Amino acid sequence: MSNSQTVVNPLFLRDEDLRQAIELLFFAYRDFTKRADAILADQHMGRAHHRVVYFVGRHPGISVSELLEILAITKQSLSRVLSHLVREGYIVQKTGTADRRQRLLHLTEKGRKLEVDLTTEQRARIAAAYKTAGAVAVEGFRKVTLGIMDPAARQRFAPGDG
Amino acid sequence: MSNSQTVVNPLFLRDEDLRQAIELLFFAYRDFTKRADAILADQHMGRAHHRVVYFVGRHPGISVSELLEILAITKQSLSRVLSHLVREGYIVQKTGTADRRQRLLHLTEKGRKLEVDLTTEQRARIAAAYKTAGAVAVEGFRKVTLGIMDPAARQRFAPGDG
DNA sequence: GGATATATGTCAACAATGCTGACGTATATG
DNA sequence: CATATACGTCAGCATTGTTGACATATATCC
């Protein structure tokens, strides 16, 4: 029965280890977002704009409600940045064909360019970290971050889904 | 076109892999901070208060300038939350003995209790993720997050450097 | 076809948390 | 004694989250 090392395992989780994990997450995230935040500030935008542009780029034709679920914020909070991005020509809204109540979101060329500007450095950061750490470490990073997030979010990464 | 295979390496870093890493980080961080944020909101505080309480608990007697370096914010931003925490009795400031200009920070009992309240769920989250993922994965998570952060921050985790 | 639910948008007010700029005090150091 | 450093504070501004209320268009159910 104890053939699964996920239950009985050789991990000694000292307080120090847990604290270190908290700090790894904090410093990695802090530095990961720094450069994009600076670019955004130059254009009178913030991290919220980045997230919208990123996920619309990731899921072209995403509905507002799907986007709300990903971001886990209120529609009023989203509305502020989304309407700004539409007004400034980064995003276009297309009425859904199956459901005409929906406003399906797409990046414009301008929006695509912004997305690239913002994530180029982030991608390079990840690529460098992945290369230095190696394939086994990458799989470990994947497992642990998936374990940290809520099960609902975890499903987004299920194989053969999305 | 973003051709991500321009560098030859054993890792095939497709655009998809890099995007996934960005999202793993986003969802893990989003859910990791959610519960603590809710507790803080009940007490008219925010994530900034948590960070101060956390790092003061982590480094008793830390100076204001050291704390500023960790948080990477301005002293004016820190001042707002720090003076609130001192005023409300979560943190005490002790004049440095070697350098009397310094205001060395310590948690009070009340501050210690808050810190525990805020991080208990976070620790449990990490512990569960670590146990499920296993020791090898934990080492991978460590390597990758260290690779993502700036070299300056990485040094904080250097062996033999408390 | 009319009642009801859903998708989306908007106005208003408020709080937390970054920022810049300017200025002040105490203490250390050359 | 001059200057630098550690820390604090006041003021103003932008971003981004919240709650609450209300409006419109479209879908769906009986």
Distance in angstroms between the alpha carbons of the first and the last residue of chain B: 45
- Determine the structural domain holding residue A113 and report its residue range: 15-151
Spatial distance between the Cα atoms of A56 and A48, rounded to a whole number of angstroms: 12
Residue A12 pLDDT: 79
Would residue B90 count as lying in a domain?
yes
Would residue A127 count as lying in a domain?
yes
| Averaged pLDDT, B30-58 | 97
Would residue A136 count as lying in a domain?
yes
Report residue A5's pLDDT band, with 50, 70 and 90 as the boundaries. very low
The lowest-confidence range among A80-89, B3-12, B103-112, B142-151 is B3-12
- Check whether B162 has a pLDDT greater than 60: no
Q: How many domains does chain A contain in total?
A: 1
Q: Supply B11's token pair.
A: 């890792």
Contacts of A28 in chain B (CB under 8 A): 25, 145-146, 148-149
| Averaged pLDDT, B29-48 | 97
Report residue A10's pLDDT band, with 50, 70 and 90 as the boundaries. low
Q: Which residues contact B141 (CB under 8 A, 6 or more apart)?
A: A21, A24, A137, A140, A141, A143, A144, A145, B133
- Check whether B57 has a pLDDT greater than 50: yes
Would residue A30 count as lying in a domain?
yes
Report residue A13's pLDDT band, with 50, 70 and 90 as the boundaries. confident
- One-character DSSP codes across A123-142: HHHHHHHHHHH-HHHHHHHH
Spatial distance between the Cα atoms of B129 and B126, rounded to a whole number of angstroms: 5
Residue A108 pLDDT: 98
Residue A18 pLDDT: 96
- For the purposes of burial, counting CB atoms within 10 Å of the CB of B59, is it exposed (0-12), middle (13-18) or buried (19 or more)? middle
Residue B13 pLDDT: 83
Report residue A162's pLDDT band, with 50, 70 and 90 as the boundaries. low
Any strand D atom closer than 7 Å to B71 CB: no
Report residue B1's pLDDT band, with 50, 70 and 90 as the boundaries. very low
- Check whether A3 has a pLDDT greater than 90: no
- Check whether A2 has a pLDDT greater than 80: no
Q: Which residues contact A19 (CB under 8 A, 6 or more apart)?
A: B58
Question: How many helices (H) and strands (E) would you count in chain B?
Answer: 7, 2
**Given CA atoms B26, B29, B34, B40 in this order, what sign does their dihedral have?**
negative
| Nearest Cα residue in chain A from B134 | A6
Would residue A146 count as lying in a domain?
yes
Would residue A95 count as lying in a domain?
yes
Q: What is the dihedral of CA A138, A143, A149, A153, to 10 degrees?
A: 90
Cβ–Cβ below 8 Å for A140 and B145: no
Any strand D atom closer than 7 Å to A46 CB: yes
Contacts of A17 in chain B (CB under 8 A): 130
CATH code, domain with B63: 1.10.10.10
| Averaged pLDDT, B18-29 | 98
Mean pLDDT of chain A: 93
Q: Does B14 touch chain A (CB under 8 A)?
A: no
Query: What tens digit of pLDDT does each residue of A91-142 get?
Result: 999 999 999 999 999 999 999 999 999 999 999 999 999 999 999 999 999 9
Q: What percent of chain B has pLDDT over 90?
A: 88
Would residue A162 count as lying in a domain?
no
Query: What tens digit of pLDDT does each residue of A52-80 get?
Result: 999 999 999 999 999 999 999 999 999 99
Q: When comparing pLDDT for B115 and A14, which is higher?
A: B115
Q: Which residues contact B137 (CB under 8 A, 6 or more apart)?
A: A139, A140, A141, A143, A144
Would residue B14 count as lying in a domain?
no
Residue B152 pLDDT: 95
- Check whether A6 has a pLDDT greater than 70: no
Residue B12 pLDDT: 79
For D20, which residue's CA is nearest its C1'? A76
